[in-house]
Amino acid sequence: MIHVGVDLHQRFCYITVMEARGKIVQAGPVTNEKLALRKYFRQFRGKEVQVAVEACGFWPGVPRGGGARGEAAGAGASAAGEGNCLGQVEE
């Protein structure tokens, strides 16, 4: 499993990717733009991924009220398309 931590900022996210054994394999900023975030998360397509997103109310990358059904955006999202927002990858 791949673990992804997302630290939220006004203009970018600092994303850290860690493999199952705890080794950090990627770390760096990604702009808070829908296309940039989708492009970033496409690399995980078909892999088991757990995403942890910092809880806050100001982030422009997540619509107010969470997902379509009101769930917490990004919580439990995976590159396989489960969840919404961050982890969902469209073809």
DSSP string across 30-68: EES-HHHHHHHHHTTTTS-EEEEE---S--TTS-TTSST
pLDDT at 9: 87
Calpha distance 51→74 (Å, rounded): 7
pLDDT, residue 3, reads: 96
Residue corresponding to tokens 């970018």: 12
Token code pair at residue 33: 């733009």
pLDDT score recorded for residue 10: 84
pLDDT at 81: 39
The pLDDT of residue 88: 42
- The residues spanned by each domain of the chain are 1-91
Query: Edge-to-edge strand order for the sheet containing 12-18?
Result: 24-31, 12-18, 2-8, 49-53
pTM over 0.95? The answer is no
Tens of pLDDT, residue by residue, the chain (91 residues)? 999 999 988 889 999 999 999 999 999 999 999 999 999 999 999 999 999 988 776 655 555 544 443 333 444 444 443 444 444 444 3
d(CA 14, CA 19): 17
**What pLDDT does residue 68 have?**
41
The CATH fold of domain 1-91: Nucleotidyltransferase; domain 5 (3.30.420)
